[in-house]
Structure 1
Amino acid sequence: MSQTKHNFGAGPCILPPVVLEGSAEAVRELDGSGLSLLEISHRSPAFSAVIFETEKLVRELLQVPDTYSVLFLQGGASMQFAMIPMNFLGSEQTAYYLDGGYFGKKAISEAKVTGQVKVVDKADALIPKEAAYFHITSNNTIEGTQLPVFPVTLAPLVCDMSSDIFSRPVDITQFDLVYAGAQKNMGPAGMTLVIARNSFLDSIRNKVHAILDYRVYREHGSMYNTPPVFAIYAAMLNLRWLKSRGGVKFTQLENRAKAQLLYDEIDRNPLFYGLAKKEERSVMNVTFKMHDAGKEKDFLAFCEQRGIVGIAGYRTVGGFRASLYNALPYESVQALVKGMQDYGNN
């Protein structure tokens, strides 16, 4: 299977050809079973092997200790915006949230439905140790900003890593809970990864419906109800591919090189300018505009003629957004840079 487009879409993410091929084959028939992946029971030995390997790969690639649970849920990051306060925000407590962008604001709005919330605008804000937790977003896909380092706090630290998980090494032990919607950098939409410190899960005192209780998913090995079988399988293939290429450390180097190539062209080319402060620039989502906004639609059409797709900025921001997720080849970034140069020479 050949890649016919340079796909810079912010989500669903680009997937490696080997993952698309393997997923397609499993939909036809899973490992000689005579059944499609879409037909097998989630209680079957075949799928038990899939979920076991997927968890093993997550633990290996991110060096997740045994003191943490790895859970595969549904509902995307938006479900986590609600589940986290429902589980961890007590009636006498206050949760602290970093307001770093659009999705941070959505998380704040959901938490306020449950209890007391205090909003801070800096990751290094002083958070009292008695806080229910401190919620941060590691990478802002719309604004094109990213936390270069994570805060140190005595309060439990919760992080939305939806758009940069597996793109760089992280010390999981800094966090009490990490969550990520799969469709940004891990696999197709439908599955949400949660990595949680067991002692943090054990601290839950709120009464929560079983379907929204992290402890229930832990006790049932992520199979309290029917899990997103296809999404987990595709994520497994994607994590296999990531491991085969040298893991997260290698991918970080490649991602940095892709981002540097594009940012250098934005800074050099008089037609364009970047939207994020240089010290906050995201390696995953590069946001930029043209000085002459009237040319932006024409530039988009110019790029599409060259097979460069998915670079339109978020609807409330405009301009352009190029998402440089793990599976995006360096050659695709070269194609975009060449398009920026050639458009300027027209």
Structure 2
Amino acid sequence: MTKYNFCAGPAMLPPAVMQKAQQEFLDWQGLGVSVMEMSHRSKEFIAMTERCEASLRRLMNISEEFAVLFMHGGGRGQFSAVPLNLHLDDKTAVYCENGVWSKSATAEAHKFTQATAIDIRNDTAGEFSIKPVTDWPLPSDASYIHYCPNETVDGLEIFDVPRHPTAPIIADMSSTILSREIDVNQFDLIYAGAQKNIGPSGLAIVIVRKTLLERQGLPKPGILDYALEAKQGSMFNTPPTFAWYLAAEVFDWLEKNGGVKAMEQQNIAKAELLYNFIDNSDFYVNKVAKYCRSRMNVPFWLNDESLNSKFVAQSNEAGLLALEGHRIVGGMRASIYNAMPLEGVQALVDFMAAFAKENS
């Protein structure tokens, strides 16, 4: 039986990457040791990190105006790093809240700096939605504007980019990075936990405009200091070496499979297949307005929620894993990141159709 992992994160990795990692696990590049066992300052490892960064720059068309950092702590680590690095004494940080993770970022920022929260949700009865970015009430003066383009819990995605005349735009792209083409130049700092579209948990990617590295910010640990990490090549201390290696392999896999443009087309096809099935069913429902539906995280609910446990049990038996929804919103959730093939979504749709027929 082919099994498909719909976990929201840590999420599935491309099978080809996992197979290569398995082959190289005990003997990387013929050196007789695992990549986990060797010095992060060896010439072989340094060469791998340079290839990794160059690959990501090509995939996202990142110019030399930006530094690319590979840091500890995942996305939550950046919840702290952003205010510590970008704080300005005379200006407030602005956090645009559209769900659990953006609210978590605000709560962390409050520990270090003055932060103003702005609600950008536009929910109506029975439907989740986001206000258009042009309607966000952004103050005229801010140290930075922070938002989360994709909220995994409610399945909300923001496809437009907010603009501000003076404040840097900061985006938590943990669950959407590399899933669709973006113009990096519209942002000043992008960060992403690796465990959805990049690799295993623990690693964070930070793409930061070099002019922001000049900000003094607040006193901070060295491993969260953007300027220090940029100066040290992301090696102020021992980095998460195996996660970095796997990220490099994922980037290589992406390039060999058509890059972000090809991934976006595949992700559109996967999302349309699943959403169209749900919309044409009287057994399931999605509560997100169509214009802001996430392509990465598709929550859905059974109209008869007494069948939830049966659905989860039988989907697991069918090899469709981790479909139970987040505890906050309930229901089900299918996370269909880059590594999820179209065949996996088709298998899910086929199961959902059969389950509905058997339980109607």
Task: Report how far residue 129 of structure 1 moved.
Answer: 5.0
Identity %: 40
Partner of 1:73: 71
Aligned letter for 2:272?
Q
Aligned letter for 2:158?
L
CA distance in 2, matches of 1:246, 1:167: 12
- Map 1:237-252 onto structure 2 (within 5 A): 237-252=249-264
- Map 1:37-186 onto structure 2 (within 5 A): 37-122=35-120, 123-124=133-134, 125-154=136-165, 155-186=167-198
Aligned letter for 1:288?
F
Equivalent residue in structure 1 for 2:275, among 254, 263, 281: 263
Aligned letter for 2:32?
G
Q: Is the 8 A contact 1:126 1:153 kept in 2?
A: no
Task: Report how far residue 289 of structure 1 moved.
Answer: 0.4
Aligned letter for 2:213?
L
114-123 or 174-183, which deviates more: 114-123
Show structure 1 runs of 5+ residues with no match.
none
Cα deviation code 1:76-98 (max 9, x no counterpart):
11011111111112232200011
Partner of 2:317: 305
Task: Report how far residue 245 of structure 1 moved.
Answer: 0.9
Aligned partner of residue 50 in structure 1, secondary structure:
helix
243-252 or 199-208, which deviates more: 199-208
CA distance in 2, matches of 1:165, 1:296: 31
CA distance in 2, matches of 1:183, 1:312: 18
Task: Report how far residue 48 of structure 1 moved.
Answer: 0.4
Cα deviation code 1:279-321 (max 9, x no counterpart):
2100000011011000111111121121111111011211101
Aligned partner of residue 345 in structure 1, secondary structure:
helix
Q: Is the 8 A contact 2:75 2:174 kept in 1?
A: yes
Task: Report how far residue 173 of structure 1 moved.
Answer: 0.7
Task: Report how far residue 119 of structure 1 moved.
Answer: 1.3
TM-score (norm 1): 0.97
Aligned partner of residue 342 in structure 1, secondary structure:
helix
Equivalent residue in structure 2 for 1:212, among 224, 235, 252: 224
The RMSD of aligned alpha carbons is 1.2
Aligned partner of residue 111 in structure 2, secondary structure:
helix
Aligned letter for 2:219?
K
207-216 or 294-303, which deviates more: 207-216
Aligned partner of residue 114 in structure 1, secondary structure:
coil
TM-score (norm 2): 0.93
Cα deviation code 1:127-184 (max 9, x no counterpart):
3453100000010001100002111212100000000100001111111100000001
Partner of 1:188: 200
Show structure 2 runs of 5+ residues with no match.
121-132
